[in-house]
Amino acid sequence: MHHYLRIWLATARYSIVRTLMFRGDFFVWSVVELFWMTVNLLLISVIYGHTDSIAGWSKYEMVLLVGTSMLIQRFLMGFFWSSIFEMGRNIRTGYFDFYLAQPGNVMFMATTRKLDPDGLINAFVAGGVVIYAARQLGLHPGLGDIALYLSMVFSGLVVHYSILVLSISLAFWLTSAQGIEGSYFTLTEFSRLPKEAFKGVVTRILFVWLLPVVVISNAPARLLLTRYGFEWKWAGALFVFAALWFALAVFVFHRGLRRYASASS
């Protein structure tokens, strides 16, 4: 673990130095992400200007849910997004050879090479949204609740990471994995909706259990909402989903790695 920590710190240092070389690009993308987050929050204000409840959720409960979803996504964008999507292009062009020669696990090296500080900066904004919503709701979570909330956020991050790695790993079999990015953004739109909004059996099976994008954000948010109390089934489901999706991503990635044709072949 110490070896991999040193490798990650080296890549993080490289990414930060590179970002400082292109400060304008960093500023623009930070503003773009902040604008996107602001639009989501303004949309909630507009909708709740015409109603008091959506699927049983009040305005600031919805802000808490959306803030949790944004927090997980900002961590994903900051730590893994660029590396994972660059991996698909490298597989197609043969540049993936570079990772095969690295001093560590190939999947780790390929998915953690780049750090996006703009995404991480806005993670603090998303965290601020969660704290603001909790204060407006009069919530006073203890240290245990906060620790469990963060562990559930981490589990949600693992699920997102695993789904992306699994999707991009299809590039080992397909000519191109283009289009996955747009499809993934469409899928994550559902993570900002409360579970109660999904009424149909097919919809619940697809977005709650098969692709647990709803559980990822709903489980941590419901933990903080005292009216629900602590629901072990939701916390347990999230931890199980994280383990299963990560195991599946590792399996598919390494199966695909056996099919990889390097630039020299």
DSSP 197: G
Q: How many domains is the chain built from?
A: 1
What is the token pair recorded at 16?
Answer: 């930060």
- Banded pLDDT at 28 (limits 50, 70, 90): confident
- What tokens does 138 get? 């009069």
Give the pLDDT confidence of 117-146 residue by residue, as tens digits: 888 888 999 999 999 999 999 888 888 889
Pull the structure tokens for residue 53: 């409840």
The closest of 156, 152, 138, 164 to 220, measured between CA atoms, is: 152
For residue 110, pLDDT over 80 is answered with yes
Any domain includes 69: yes
- C-beta separation of 84 from 168 below 8 A: yes
pLDDT for position 25: 79
Domain around 57: 12-257
Q: In this structure, is residue 204 part of a structural domain?
A: yes
In a domain, 29, yes or no: yes
Rounded Cα gap, residues 29 and 213, in angstroms: 25
Please report whether residue 263 resides in a domain.
no
What's the CA angle centered on 212, arms 228 and 134, to 5 degrees? 35
**Degrees to nearest 5, angle at CA 238 with 88 and 159:** 5
Q: What is the pTM of this model?
A: 0.88
Is 5 contained in some domain?
A: no
Say which DSSP state 263 is in: T
The C-alpha angle 6, 106, 89, rounded to 5 degrees, equals: 115
Say how many C-beta atoms besides its own lie within 10 A of residue 147's C-beta.
11
Give the model's pLDDT for residue 85: 86
> Tokens standing for 155?
């589990």
In a domain, 24, yes or no: yes
Whether residue 1 is contained in a domain is answered as no
pLDDT tens-place string over residues 187-230 = 777 788 888 777 777 676 776 767 788 888 888 988 888 665 66
Within-domain flag for 4 = no
Amino acid letter for position 225: L
